[in-house]
Structure 1
Amino acid sequence: MPVSNQSAGRETRPVGPRTPRSPEARQRQRDILHTATDTFAARGYNNASLAEIADRAGLTQAGVLHYFRSKALLLTSVLELRDQTDIEQLGRDRPRGLEFLRHLVDTALRNAEREGIVRLYTVLSAESVTDEHPAQAYFRDRYSGLRAFVTDALREASGLPADGTDGTDGADGTDGVEHAANAIIAVMDGLQVQWLLDPGSVDMAASTDLVITSLLAALAPPGPGGPCTGR
């Protein structure tokens, strides 16, 4: 799910990777990124070593560090590559309202064909809750941005006012639409774990569509019918 990570200056980001000049060097950098993606997905950040990544890429550890100054920077670059791929698939303009919710279902459908990316995200997001993990800020910002996007989409698709005065607040004054957005994100992440463990028993797109449709029906103002994702 493409989300623009905006850290609001809370942390100092590491210096970016070197910019290769020759086509051969640019290809070598891409090869390192893809090797690191596979390694982090299989072993996690903490268990994967630069030496292992270098060996799998046919380089020395110094060779990897020539392109990426640290293991943390390599991880950041892998995550940025994943985001860029998602953004290119989404297109220049982010869909809104019901179209964005349909995009979430389409993403779940597409994820069933890219196990490596799903495994990478699942392993690293779980790992990022540990102290001083280099991807912690990335995932915190990603969830924050995604939560805002899904909340806005639910309001628009349900015909609810953008200012939150929609009567969906809970007894404690919390926003029911935000709770629904959190539920959708949690369902999608949880489905990925189940699918990785037993892909034949889980249809991520169908389950995501069911949950979104049910929540839209629960949030919709009284009236005939209600919105659905239309999948």
Structure 2
Amino acid sequence: MTRARGADRRASIVRAAFEVIAERGYRGTSLAAVAERVGLTQQGLMHYFPTKEDLLTAVLETRDEWDLLHFGHARPGDPSAISVSQLADLVDYNATRPGIVQTYTVLSADSVTEDHPARKYFQDRYARVRAGMAQMLERHRDELPPGTTPEQLAPLAIATLDGLQLQWLLDPEEVDMSAGFRTFLALLGVKPD
């Protein structure tokens, strides 16, 4: 098998894993179900991803890479390298890819259990995102509500983003996450750069 064909196969497996995880959650996902989705045997899939945890890692890394490709210069999970306008654009972009948003939401919720293999990934990611969000908000310190700091507002901004995504997934006709996030920025007094 050529290297390019192997990379294509890995990519198709990861896409299938996104779909299956979004439908069933991580715990309800099996390598056999993902293999069936891409027309492989479980043994064939294990040639590319020996364990379910390896596949989960690839799913999470791929999601971050897709965001990187969209914003080219930002590191995955680090909003400090992007502007408020770019972050608002990311919310718009996410509205075009409900399957990715659904998979991320399911995995992040699943990861709160002690033995979940993605728990450390999400703990580390949220720590980076909080720090990056605080740095991004620091550039707007003069616009923030009196008596607040970027460090106080960073977790609230992330909670707003994640909460809007969840509500949008549950009722996309009623919840406009792009408008909701822009309203949140207005409440903070932050003007897109």
Give 1 or 2: higher helix fraction: 2
| TM-score (structure 2 length as normaliser) | 0.89
Structure 2 residue aligned with 1:17: none
Q: Quick check: 2:74–2:81 contact (8 Å CA) kept in 1?
A: no
The corresponding residue for 2:18 is 37
**Are 1:156 and 2:168 an aligned pair?**
no
C-alpha separation in 1, matches of 2:176 and 2:121: 28
1:108 aligns with 2:91: yes
Report how far residue 168 of structure 1 moved.
3.7
CA distance in 2, matches of 1:127, 1:109: 25
The aligned counterpart of 2:47 is: 66
* TM-score w.r.t. length of structure 1: 0.75
Measured after TM superposition, the shift of residue 57 of structure 1 is 1.1
Match of 1:163 in 2: none
Which AA in structure 1 matches 2:92?
Answer: L
Question: Which residue pairs with 2:124 in the alignment?
Answer: 141
Instruction: Give the 3-state SS of the residue equivalent to 1:185 in structure 2.
Output: helix
In the alignment, what sits opposite 2:180? 207
Which residue matches 1:24? 5
Alpha-carbon distance between aligned partners in 2 of 1:197 and 1:106, rounded to the nearest angstrom: 21
Please state how far the C-alpha of 1:206 moved relative to its aligned partner: 1.1
Q: Which moved more, 1:90-99 or 1:33-42?
A: 90-99
Classify the secondary structure of the residue corresponding to 1:88: helix
- CA spacing shift, 1:99–1:29, aligned 2, 3 Å: closer
1:228 matches 2:185: no
RMSD of the TM alignment (CA)?
2.2
Partner AA of 1:204 in structure 2: M
Deviation track 1:25-51 (CA, whole Å, cap 9, x = no partner) reads 222111111111111111111011111
The Cα shift of 1:132 comes to: 1.2
- Structure 1 residues 99 and 134: alpha-carbon distance in aligned structure 2, compared to 1, 3 A threshold: closer
Larger Rg: 1
Secondary structure, aligned partner of 1:201: coil
3-state SS in 2 of match to 1:47: coil
The verdict on how the C-alpha distance between 1:132 and 1:180 changes in structure 2, with shifts beyond 3 A counting, is same
AA paired with 1:208? F
Structure 2: stretches of 5+ with no match in the other structure: none
Distance 2:45 2:10 in 1: 8
* Amino acid paired to 2:118: A
